[in-house]
Structure 1
Amino acid sequence: MPGLADWLRGWRTPLAKQQSAVAAGPLDFSEPGFVQNPYPYFARLRDAEPLHRSASGAWVFSRRSDILAALADPRLGNAPAPYAIIGTRNRDRYPCAEVAGNTLPFLDGPLHTRLRRLFAQAWTTQLRENPPDIETHARRLAAQCRAKGRFDLLREFATPLAVAVIGDVLGVPDTMRPALHADARFFFYLFTHLPSHEVRAQTDAAVLRLREGFGRLLDDPEAAPQGVIAGLRGLEANELSPEQVLDNLALLWADGIGNVDSGIASAFAVLLQHPKQWRALCAEPTLSANAAAECLRFESPGQFIGRVVLEDLDWHGQALKRGQVVLLVLASANHDQHQHPDAQRFDIHGSGPSALSFGRGHHSCVGAALARSEVEVALRVAAEELPQLRLCVRTLEWQLRIGHRWLNALPVAVD
Structure 2
Amino acid sequence: MTVDSATELYYDPYRPDINADPYPVFRRLRDEAPLYYNAPHDFYAVSRFEDVERCFKDRETFSSAKGAVLEIIRSGLAMPPGVFIFEDPPLHTVHRGLVSRVFTRRRIAGIERQVRAYTERTLDPLVGRGRFDFVRDLGAEMPMRVIGMLLGIPEEAQERVRDFVDAGLQTEEGRPMETGDGFLSGDFFAEYVDWRAAHPSDDLMTELLTLEFEDETGTIRRLAREEILTFVNIIAGAGNETTTRLIGWAGKVLADHPEQRRRLAEDPALIPGAVEELLRFEPPAPHGARHVTRDVEIHGRVVPAGSAMLLLMGAANRDERRYPDPDTFDVHRPPGPHLTFGVGAHFCLGAALARLEGRVALEEVLKRFPEWEVDWSGARLASTSTVRGWDSLPVVVGGAAA
Matches within 5 A, 1:344-383: 344-351=327-334, 353-383=336-366
CA displacement 1:34-67 (0-9 Å, x = unmatched): 1210011001111111110024121111000001
Tell me the SS of whatever aligns to 1:306. strand
AA aligned to 1:173 is: P
Q: Secondary structure at the match of 2:381?
A: coil
Structure 1 residue 182: Cα displacement: 1.8
2-structure distance, mates of 1:327, 1:86: 12
- What's the CA shift for 1:86? 4.3
Alpha-carbon distance between aligned partners in 2 of 1:188 and 1:325, rounded to the nearest angstrom: 20
Structure 2 counterpart of 1:228, from 181, 189, 204 = 204
Q: Which has the higher contact order (CA 8 A, sep 6+)?
A: 2
RMSD: 3.0
Could you say what secondary structure the match of 1:40 adopts?
Answer: helix
Flag the 1:362–1:194 CA change in 2: closer, same or farther, 3 A.
farther
In structure 2, C-alpha distance between the alignment counterparts of 1:310 and 1:195, rounded to whole Å: 23
Query: Do 1:82 and 1:88's aligned partners in 2 also have CA atoms closer than 8 Å?
Result: no
In terms of fraction of residues, the more helix-rich structure is 1
What's the offset of the Cα at 1:283?
A: 1.7
Contact 2:134 2:393 in 1 (8 A): yes
Which residue does the alignment assign to 1:8? Answer: none
Q: Which runs of 5+ in 2 are unaligned?
A: 216-222
Residue 117 of structure 1 corresponds to 97
Residue identity matched to 2:66 = P
Contact 2:68 2:290 in 1 (8 A): no
2:193 counterpart (215, 226, 243): 215
5+ residue gaps, structure 1? 4-19, 92-96
1:382: how far off? Answer: 1.1
Tell me whether 1:407 sits opposite 2:390 in the alignment. yes
Question: Are 1:72 and 2:57 counterparts?
Answer: yes
Map Cα deviations across residues 147-194 of structure 1 (whole Å, 9 max, x no partner). Answer: 33222220111111111111122222112212222212245479xx97
Distance 1:130 1:38, change over 3 A: closer
Change (3 A) 1:262 1:230: same
Out of 142, 150, 163, which is 2:123 matched to?
Answer: 142
Q: C-alpha separation between the residues in 2 aligned to 1:354 and 1:51?
A: 22
Aligned to 2:322, the other structure's residue is in SS state: coil
* Further displaced range: 276-285 or 22-31: 22-31
Q: Who is 1:44 aligned against?
A: 28
What is the one-letter code of the residue matched to 1:60?
Answer: A
Counterpart of 2:247 in structure 1 is: 264
1:35 partner SS: helix
Cα distance in 2 for residues equivalent to 1:108 and 1:85:
18
Q: What SS does the aligned partner of 1:28 have?
A: coil
The answer (yes or no) to whether the contact 1:141–1:157 under 8 Å persists in 2 is yes
Whichever residue aligns with residue 63 of structure 1, its letter is: R
Residues 205 and 306 (structure 1), Cα distance of their counterparts in 2 relative to 1, 3 Å cut? closer
Structure-2 change in CA distance of 1:194 and 1:104 (3 Å): farther
Q: Percent identity?
A: 27
The structure-2 alpha-carbon separation of the partners of 1:126 and 1:216, relative to structure 1 and needing over 3 Å to count, comes to farther
Are the counterparts in 1 of residues 71 and 176 from structure 2 also a CA contact under 8 Å? Answer: no
Deviation of residue 282 (structure 1)? 1.5
Matching of residues 86-235 of structure 1 within 5 Å: 86=72, 97-99=78-80, 102-124=82-104, 126-127=107-108, 133-188=114-169, 195=176, 200=179, 204=182, 207-220=185-198, 222=199, 224-235=200-211
Q: Contact between 1:36 and 1:397, CA under 8 Å: does it hold in 2?
A: no
Q: Secondary structure at the match of 1:56?
A: coil
Separation in structure 2 between the aligned mates of residue 108 and residue 294 of structure 1, nearest angstrom: 30
